[in-house]
Amino acid sequence: MTVSSPTFQTGAEVRIAVRKGAFTGHTVGVAPSFVQGNVVILPKAHAYDFLLFCQRNPKPCPLLAVSDEGSPRLPVLGMDLDIRTDIPRYCVWRDGELVGEPAQIQDLWRDDMVTFVLGCSFSFEQALISSGLSLRHVECGDNVSMFKTNIPTVSAGPFSGPLVVTMRPFMPADVIRAVQITSRFPNVHGAPVHVGDPAAIGIRDAGRPDYGDPVEVRPGEIPVFWACGVTPQAALAAARLPLVITHAPGYMLVTDLLNERLAVF
Amino acid sequence: MTVSSPTFQTGAEVRIAVRKGAFTGHTVGVAPSFVQGNVVILPKAHAYDFLLFCQRNPKPCPLLAVSDEGSPRLPVLGMDLDIRTDIPRYCVWRDGELVGEPAQIQDLWRDDMVTFVLGCSFSFEQALISSGLSLRHVECGDNVSMFKTNIPTVSAGPFSGPLVVTMRPFMPADVIRAVQITSRFPNVHGAPVHVGDPAAIGIRDAGRPDYGDPVEVRPGEIPVFWACGVTPQAALAAARLPLVITHAPGYMLVTDLLNERLAVF
C-alpha cells in the first residue's frame, strides 16, 4: 500500500516533511511504530461538549491529547508539533458541510481554537500484524469496512448518534488472540464491542459497509467489530457546527508516541 | 474495619440507606464488590478546566462519569442515583477553605452544578485482596499512606500541583503480581507509577506520610506507589474556587458498577 511513500523513521520526520510540503500523501503504513491520531479542531464554545462526548464514549473517542485554547501546540505528542501545518490534508466543515480540503490551515486559525487528538485503529492493527494475524483489508489493499450500528452513543450537548464500528474477519483461534491483543490498548479503541452476528448490532448486510470498502468474511471466519473513530466525525457532522476542522480520512497526524507506549500491560 | 457497618448486598442498597439517613458511616469495605467513587461537584464555569485536568492526568484522575449541567442524576452509575443525598458525608469548600461537612446538599444545589465521579483505589485494593495479597494498612486497620511527590501534574486552567501517591509495601514476588493485577484497572488508577526508592520521586521520609497513616515497610519489602485521588482534591483546594463540594474522605459514592466490570481484560 505504501510502496510510493518515502521511508520515515519517526513521527517527527513525517511532520517536518509535511510542514515543508515535501510529503503530501496519506499516512497509512507511514512510520508504523508511531501513534497516528484522528484530529478535531473546533472553537472553545463547543469544546466542553465535545470533551464530554469523548469522556462518555471512550471506546469510539479515545482521547490522546487536548490543546490549550488558541495554542497550535501539543507538546505531549511532539515538542515541535504545529497542528496548523503538520497534517498532509485537512477537511474544513461549515454547518456540517465539507467546504474544502486544504494542505494547511494557518489562514483559518483563531485564538479560540481547541485541538483534540484521538487514537486510531492503526495502532492496534500494527499490534495485530506484529503478532502474526492477517488483516484481510490490508492484504487486499482496501480500506477497512465501517458500519453504523443500532448502539447509541451517550450524548453530550449537540453531539449524539450511533456507534460506528470497523469489521475484521478472523478464524476462531485468531478471534481470541485479537481480543487479547487489542485489550492491551484501551486508548486506541481497545477490545472489540461485538463478535459474530452483524444483525445483533443492527447491521443488515455485512457485505455493504456504510464507509470504506467491502471485506469478505470467508467460511469458518467470525466477523469482529471494534468501535471506530468515524463515530465522533459523524456526531460532529450531524451537529452542524459553524466551523470544524478535521484531518482528511487517511491523512492522519503522526505523533512521537510509540504504539507500544499505549499498551496498559 | 467494618464490623459495625450494616451488611449491604449492592450499591443501590447503600445509597437508599444513605438517602433515608439510615446509614451515616464511612464506606470502607461496604458492598465491596461495587465501585466506589471520589466525587467533585462544581459550577459549570469551572467544569471545562476540571474535565481537561482529568483528561490530562488520567492516572490520578480516572473519570467514571460526568453529569449533565444542573442534573443531580448519574444514570450510568445507578438509575436512582441522586448526588445531592446519596453520599453519607460531604465537604463544602469556599475559596479553598473547608466550611462544612453536611449529610446532604439539597440546599446548596444550583442549576449550574456539574458532578464528576472519579475511580478510587478501593476497586483495585479489592482485586489485590481477592488475589491473595495482603495490604498492610488494611491488616492494621489504618488509612493508606499518601505522599506528595516531585512529579508535576499537567495543568489545565487554574488546576495544577504535584502528583499525590499512595504507598503499599510488598515482597518482590507480590510486587510483580500487584503490577499485573492493577494494570487490569486503568479506570481506577491502573498500574503503579513508581517502585522502590521513595527519594526518586521526592519523598524524603516514607515513614511520615503527608496524608493518612504511617505504614511500615519491613525488611525485604519494596514500597510500591500508585497515583492517588487526593491529587485532584489538592489541585482543587489550591485553585481556591468560590464553591466546590466533594465527598468527605472515606465517605464515598457507592455505585451499581461491579469492580470487575472496570477490568480491561
pLDDT digits (tens, 9 = 90+) for B71-83: 999 999 999 999 9
What is the radius of gyration, based on Cα positions, of chain B?
A: 18
Gap from A48 CA to chain B (nearest CA, Å): 5
Q: Is the pLDDT of residue B104 over 80?
A: yes
Taking CA–CA distances from A180, the nearest residue in chain B reads B265
**Average pLDDT of the segment spanning B159-174:** 97
Q: Is the pLDDT of residue B199 over 70?
A: yes
Whether residues B264 and A190 touch (CB distance < 8 A) is answered with: yes
Calpha distance A160→A238 (Å, rounded):
8
Whether residues A51 and B48 touch (CB distance < 8 A) is answered with: yes
Name the helix (H) or strand (E) containing A152.
strand A145-152
Q: Which residues of A6-19 are buried (b: 16+ CB within 10 A; e: fewer)?
A: eebebbbbbbebbb
- The angle at the Cα of A223, spanning A222 to A225, to the nearest 5 degrees, equals 140
Gap from A31 CA to chain B (nearest CA, Å): 25
Calpha distance A19→B70 (Å, rounded):
44
Calpha distance A174→A108 (Å, rounded):
46
Nearest C-alpha neighbor of A27 from the set A262, A265, A249: A249
Asked if B233 and B153 count as a contact pair (C-beta separation under 8 A), the reply is no
- The angle at the Cα of B171, spanning B165 to B175, to the nearest 5 degrees, equals 55
Whether residues A56 and B66 touch (CB distance < 8 A) is answered with: yes
Mean pLDDT of all residues in chain B?
95
Q: Cell digits for B194?
A: 513508581
Taking CA–CA distances from A48, the nearest residue in chain B reads B48
pLDDT digits (tens, 9 = 90+) for A7-60: 899 999 999 999 999 999 999 889 999 999 999 999 999 999 999 999 999 999
pLDDT digits (tens, 9 = 90+) for A132-156: 999 999 999 899 999 999 999 999 9
**Average pLDDT of the segment spanning B189-215:** 96
So what's the ipTM on this one? 0.91
Q: Residue written as cell 436512582?
A: B80
Q: Residue written as cell 487554574?
A: B158
- pTM as predicted: 0.94
Got the DSSP string for A178-235? HHHHHHT-GGGT-S-SEES-GGGGT-S-TTS-SBS------TT-EEEEEE-THHHHHH
Pick from B56, B66, B183: which is nearest to A265 by CB?
B183
Nearest C-alpha neighbor of B77 from the set B107, B43, B106, B120: B120
Q: Is the pLDDT of residue A4 over 70?
A: no
Asked if A14 and A31 count as a contact pair (C-beta separation under 8 A), the reply is yes
The per-residue pLDDT for B3 is 45
Q: Which residues of A87-103 are buried (b: 16+ CB within 10 A; e: fewer)?
A: bbbbbbbeeeeeeeeee
Q: Is the pLDDT of residue B184 over 50?
A: yes
The per-residue pLDDT for B28 is 87
Whether residues B183 and A264 touch (CB distance < 8 A) is answered with: yes
Portion of chain A with pLDDT greater than 70, in percent = 98
pLDDT band at A235 (very low <50, low <70, confident <90, very high): very high
Gap from B43 CA to chain A (nearest CA, Å): 13
Task: Say whether A41 sits in a helix, a strand or coil.
Answer: strand
Write the CA distances from B142 to A204, B4, B27, B129, B215, integer angstroms.
57, 16, 14, 16, 8
The per-residue pLDDT for B5 is 57
Q: Cell digits for A18?
A: 509535511
pLDDT band at A5 (very low <50, low <70, confident <90, very high): low
The per-residue pLDDT for A3 is 45
The per-residue pLDDT for A144 is 93
Q: Cell digits for B131?
A: 488475589
B193 touches chain A (CB under 8 A): no
B133 touches chain A (CB under 8 A): no
CB atoms near residue B191 (< 10 Å): 21
Calpha distance A21→B35 (Å, rounded):
51
Chains A and B: how many Cβ contacts under 8 Å? 45
Whether residues B264 and A191 touch (CB distance < 8 A) is answered with: yes
